[in-house]
């Protein structure tokens, strides 16, 4: 049996090597111990040595017994094959929901990132709890906001009402957290902006991302995003398109307005189901008062 030249690699190097491989490699990393990256002398195919019996040295892991050797090249090929084309795709009517934390950038500028992190974590916990409680699925998070859909786990007829309920729960949760946590501890009052629209979109594993989350895309998604952005202009925390409002089982009393949204060719009627934003001191002023 030909000898193999094994090259010890620090765990940081292994992590750097496997991070882009996601679905193909990550399950191996979590279930088994990756010890070495090495090359066969007669073949330049990189391989991964998996081992269950380890001796740990400072900054390095060393194998004591070879359990199995898996070629890395097929794993790479399989992973890229999965990402190259859609494994499934369909058109589906969904309720599309965007939420964003208002005026978060000035807060981040006034305080250190370590101070702001617990606040952001608490806010996103409120978002997740409300969305999941009403059978929504978070598709994407970005900075201080996220994008979720309703209707993947329930009939579309129920989806608009579920999304509305999730949004109202977020408003209630943020208000409670302001009174009991953010205000007393940080002298800060958070506000959110939310937009809700419905429409037929493409849903599936489209090979556009690096994780197993489905991609949801289409023109209605853009409208929902623009509604969230328009909350600043309208001075109301939750805007729902008239198309969505008509589908609600128990629509709330709400004023309607016509909006011209960026990138949308025609004016759109919306309903204001949130509350006006209250004027608050700037983060710098609040920080000075707290001091």
* Six token digits for residue 217: 């895309």
- Has residue 36 got a pLDDT over 50? no
Q: What are phi and psi for residue 78, nearest 5 degrees?
A: -65, -40
Measured at the CA of 195, the angle between CA 91 and CA 224, to 5 degrees, comes to 35
Q: Which of 59, 84, 109 is the last residue of a domain?
A: 84
pLDDT tens, 162-172? Answer: 999 999 999 99
CA 2 to each of CA 5, 41, 42, 63: distance values in angstroms, whole numbers, following the listed order: 10, 8, 9, 18
- pLDDT value at position 214? 81
Any idea which residue has 């190097």 for tokens?
Answer: 13
Structure tokens at 26: 């990550």
Task: Tell me the whole-structure pTM to 2 decimals.
Answer: 0.67
What whole-number percentage of the chain has pLDDT above 70? 64
The alpha carbon dihedral of 273, 99, 232, 176 has a sign of positive
What mean pLDDT, rounded, does the chain reach?
75
Residues 139 and 214 occupy one common structural domain:
yes
Task: Indicate the SS3 state at residue 89.
Answer: strand
pLDDT for position 47: 34
Give the tens place of pLDDT for each residue, 91-148. Answer: 999 999 999 999 888 888 888 889 899 999 999 999 999 999 999 999 999 889 999 9
Q: Which domain holds residue 66?
A: 5-84
Residues forming beta bridges with residue 68, ordered by sequence position: 50
Q: How many distinct structural domains can be found in the chain? A: 2
Separation between Cα atoms, residue 191 and residue 121, nearest integer Å: 15
3-class DSSP state of 262: coil
The winner for highest mean pLDDT among 18-32, 105-119, 213-227 is 213-227
Q: How far apart are CA 169 and CA 102, in angstroms?
A: 17
Q: Which of 56, 84, 112 is the last residue of a domain?
A: 84
| Pair 80, 191 in one domain | no
- The tokens for 106 are 């000035």
CATH of the domain at 285: 3.30.70.1230
Average pLDDT over residues 261-282: 86
Same domain for 134 and 20? no
Largest Cα span, the chain = 80
SS3 state at 229: helix
pLDDT of the residue at 158: 97
Domain match, 157 and 60 both: no
């Amino acid at each position: 049996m030909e000898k193999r030249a094994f090259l010890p690699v620090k765990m940081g190097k292994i992590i750097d090597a496997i991070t882009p491989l996601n679905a193909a490699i990550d399950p191996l990393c979590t279930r088994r111990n990756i010890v070495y990256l090495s090359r066969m002398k007669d073949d330049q195919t990189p391989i991964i040595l998996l081992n269950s019996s380890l001796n740990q040295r400072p900054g390095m892991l060393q194998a004591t017994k070879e359990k199995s050797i898996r070629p890395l090249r097929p794993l790479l090929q399989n992973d890229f094959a999965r990402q190259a084309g859609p494994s499934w795709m369909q058109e589906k009517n969904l309720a599309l929901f965007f939420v964003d934390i208002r005026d978060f950038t000035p807060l981040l500028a006034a305080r250190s990132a370590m101070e702001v992190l617990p606040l952001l974590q608490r806010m996103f916990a409120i978002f997740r709890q409300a969305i999941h409680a009403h059978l929504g699925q978070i598709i994407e998070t970005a900075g201080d906001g996220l994008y979720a859909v309703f209707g993947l786990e329930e009939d579309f007829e129920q989806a608009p009402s579920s999304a509305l309920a999730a949004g109202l729960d977020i408003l209630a949760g943020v208000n409670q957290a302001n009174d009991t946590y953010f205000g007393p501890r940080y002298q800060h009052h958070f506000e959110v902006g939310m937009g809700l629209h419905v429409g037929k979109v493409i849903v599936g594993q489209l090979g556009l991302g690096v994780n197993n989350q489905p991609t949801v895309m289409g023109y209605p998604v853009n409208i929902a995003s623009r509604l969230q952005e328009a909350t600043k202009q309208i001075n109301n925390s939750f805007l729902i398109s008239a198309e969505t409002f008509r589908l609600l089982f128990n629509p709330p009393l709400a004023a309607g307005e016509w909006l011209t949204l960026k990138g949308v060719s025609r004016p759109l009627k919306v309903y204001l189901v949130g509350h006006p934003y209250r004027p608050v001191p700037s983060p710098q002023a609040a920080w000075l008062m707290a001091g």
